[in-house]
Structures are given as structure tokens and as C-alpha cells.
Amino acid sequence: MNCDLITIEFASNLIDRAISSGAEQAEFFFKTAKSLSIDVKDQKIDTLETSVSYGYSLRVIKNNRLGFSYSNDLKEVDKVIDNAIEATKYAEPDNFLCLPSYQRPSTVEVYDKNIALISESDAMEKILLMEQAAFNKDKRIKKTRKASGSFTTGETYIFNSLGVALNYIATACTAQLMAIAENGIENQIGWDFSGSRFLQDIDFEKIGDTAAKRALDQLNSRKISSLKGSILLDRSVAVDFLSLLAGALSSEAVQKGKSLLANKLGLKVCNEKFNVIDNGIFNRMLGSRPFDDEGVPAQSKILIEKGVLKTFMYNAYTARKAGVNSTGNAIRGGFQNLPSVSPTNLYIETFDYGLVQDFAKLVKNTDKGIYVFETMGMHTANPISGEFSVGVSGLWIENGEFKQPVKEAVISGNILDLFNKIILIGDDLRFYGNIGSPSLLIEGIDISG
């Protein structure tokens, strides 16, 4: 399919016909994806899949009612238009429905030809190398699970009746591995992940090495007694908690009464020693793009500044409902979905360098507590109240030194309280997907053995 020519002509015609059929506003969304996925087991290729997909959708507004239809068949254009228009007859009227007008897109690095042009043999070699690095770590690493990687190139096109006519091409590479350590008495699992829009940012050997180390560190783990102590959150675990907070920063959740941050704009909600940023123009990151899935330019914005809640994330609809501008956070799960509100690249930014330390100093500043590098049951946390109680594993720290692996511990509390109790922050920001955090040292946490 010649997207440069056919899509523009096709989209313009589709929009014109939708308007002629009675729509006041119309939007065409088109997405393609080419992906290579590889799974490895015992230094052999377990699965290798290539896929190419594309599809388009039409969103219309007629008499303040929404209509939506989609297809992956260009010959079904008449059906798509008819279905979208027909759907407006059964939708409830909503005065906040709208499409954005054209704005100049942002500039950001999201395309890497090394991913777009990678051969199957080169891709396989990298995933095999990742697994071999896990085996090379220690003879107690006997097996791996989910030694996998994906290499994807996608194009996005958005056209609407208000002048939006935009497209971009982006790449992505992700890799992850679970390593299993065995000592004849017990088995333990360790995991690591990396992702970027640029291939050179992925250290495949380091993923295998880190996953193996995590598994080995948990061998011979023991229970601990219950206490109120400190937790040193590994970056991957800090991301789990930040993801819970990210949901509360969605204007969609706020407007549906499902956010613990509702009615807290302008109030202190976190420790004043850091900011929470959502940045859609962070070069090379998985959540970056020149514009969101409605055509609004991606941008960087401070959501929480020095502990004070400054704004939420908005798409066009929730922004109009709140009487503000869209923040460029309209994201779709695919061409079959309407845009919702999601973060682009959300992360903790530190600016108080008296608070920021390297990881070794975070450990030395821990009197009694757990270095947590795995959680279990995070999905059970309450996104409205912020209450959580999750299982954790990691390493016991006493007097600033690692002592023993810890198993079957539970930490509980409230997500806002947790982010208020941060006493030190690492200088080691890392993203897992599109959420990023440095290591966090937090005091006064209930730990059950």
C-alpha cells in the first residue's frame, strides 16, 4: 500500500463523504505495523514470528453525538462511513465532543533505521546473546523463561475536517528475560527488561546478566519479623508504584470519580524534593511521538511540581470538559479504539542534589529495611483510595549493609503517603516501558514478615 499517496487521497475522500452524509466533524485515523518477535529457549529459537498489519477508523460528530467505525479493508469504506453515521443515532448527546484543529507537530527522535532494517539473523543473534549472558553468570542458572525480543516499525496518520493532516514513522525494540536459579533446595526467578526506539540503547547482555543476578540474590531467602522500617525500591519496583500514581493523574479518571487526586489541584500531594514529569518529546523513548493520537503536538509538562499537583493529563474531550487545553495525552490501543488518556513518558525528576545519591549511598543510609526488587499483587492496589498491600522479595539491609535474601514479606500503606516518605533518591533514572524512576529510599513503612 502506497501510504504517501493513497492514504492522503483516501482519507480526504472519506472525510468529505462523511461530512456530506451529515457529520459536522470527521476524523480519519490510520496505523500500520511491521513486527519481528523472537523467543529463545536453551539457546535455540523457540518461536519466530513476523507480522504486518494495518487498519483505519472513522470518528464522526453529528448533532453532538459520537459515531465510530473501523476496518482493515479499504474496499469497506462505504460500510465504515455508514456505520459511523448510523452509530450517532444511538449515542447520547454530549456537548463536550470535539476534534482538535491543526497545530504544528513537535520534533522528536523516534525512528531508527537499524531497527527498521534489521535482519532475522541479526535479531536472533541478539536474543540468543541475551540468554547466553544469563547462563554465563553462574552455573546455578539452569533455565530461562521469556527470553524474548521484538523489533517493530509503525506509521501513524491522522486527518480531520478541522485541518489536521499529519503522519510519522517510529521504531521500537524491547527485550526481556526471566532467569531461574537452582541450588538443589529451591528455585528463584529473576527478571530484567529494556526498551527503546533505538537499537543501540539496548544492552542485551546486560539484561541477561541482571536477570540472572536477581535470581541468584534470592537463593537461601528467609522470613523476617514484622517491623516499621525502610524500603529501598529498585527502579523497576518504583515504576510499579509510579504507574499507580499515573492512573490518578489522568483527567479521565478524575472526571469519572476514580482518581485519588480528584479535588487536589494546587495542593501538596508528594514529597517536595522532586517533580513528576510527563514528556512526550523525550528523544528515543518508547512513549515519545511528534503528536498524540488525535494530532495534538506532544509536549513536556510538570504534573507534580515540588510536591504540588499542578495539572492532569488531558485529551481533547477531557480538556474541553475541564475548560483547559489538551496536553497531548490522547493514546489509542490501535485503530480499533477511540482515544483515551494515557501518559507518554512519565517519570520522577529530581532537582535537590543534596537528596540525590548513588545507589551505594542509598544502601549505606538504610538502618533497617528491605531492598525491594520484586512485588507480587500490585494489581490489587486500590487506584481510588491509593491503599496497597503487596508481597515483596529482596535483600535485608541492616546498618547500611546487605545481610540476607528476604521472602514472603508484605509492605502496606497508601501511595501518597509512600511518596511523601521518600528521604533519598538515586541518581539512576531508568525507564521500564514508558514509565521511569530512579531508586527510592523510603522510611516509616509497615513491613510484615
- Chosen domain end from 217, 248, 270: 217
| Residue 361 shares a structural domain with residue 290 | yes
Residue 449 confidence class, pLDDT cut points 50, 70, 90:
confident
Residue 114 maps to a domain? yes
| Residue 196 shares a structural domain with residue 253 | no
- Chosen domain end from 217, 242, 274: 217
pLDDT at site 2? 45
CA 181 remoteness from chain centre: 29
**DSSP assignment letter at 194:** E
Residues 357-396 have pLDDT tens digits of 899 999 999 999 999 999 999 989 998 999 999 999 999 9
Mean pLDDT check: name the lowest of 1-5, 26-30, 183-187: 1-5
| Residue 284 shares a structural domain with residue 361 | yes
Q: Which amino acid is at 28?
A: F
Angle of helix 120-137 relative to helix 204-217, nearest 10 degrees?
30
Share of the chain above pLDDT 90, in %: 93
Residue 282 maps to a domain? yes
Residue 354 has pLDDT above 90, yes or no: no
Q: Dihedral of the CA atoms 378, 379, 382, 383 (nearest 10)?
A: 100
Residues of the domain holding 430? 227-448
Residue 199 confidence class, pLDDT cut points 50, 70, 90:
very high
Mean pLDDT check: name the lowest of 2-6, 53-57, 294-298: 2-6
Handedness of CA 413, 417, 420, 421 (dihedral sign): negative
Residue pointed to by grid coordinates 496518520: 157
pLDDT at site 373? 93
Residue 45 maps to a domain? yes
| Residue 158 shares a structural domain with residue 297 | no
Most distant CA pair in the chain: distance in Å?
Answer: 74
The count of structural domains within the chain is 2
- Chosen domain end from 168, 183, 217: 217
| Residue 319 shares a structural domain with residue 191 | no
| Residue 232 shares a structural domain with residue 158 | no
Residue 330 maps to a domain? yes
| Residue 239 shares a structural domain with residue 127 | no
Residue 222 maps to a domain? no
CA 202 remoteness from chain centre: 17
Residue pointed to by grid coordinates 526488587: 373
Is the pTM of the predicted complex or chain greater than 0.75?
yes
Residues 399-424 have pLDDT tens digits of 999 999 998 899 999 999 999 999 99
pLDDT at site 1? 41
CA 134 remoteness from chain centre: 26
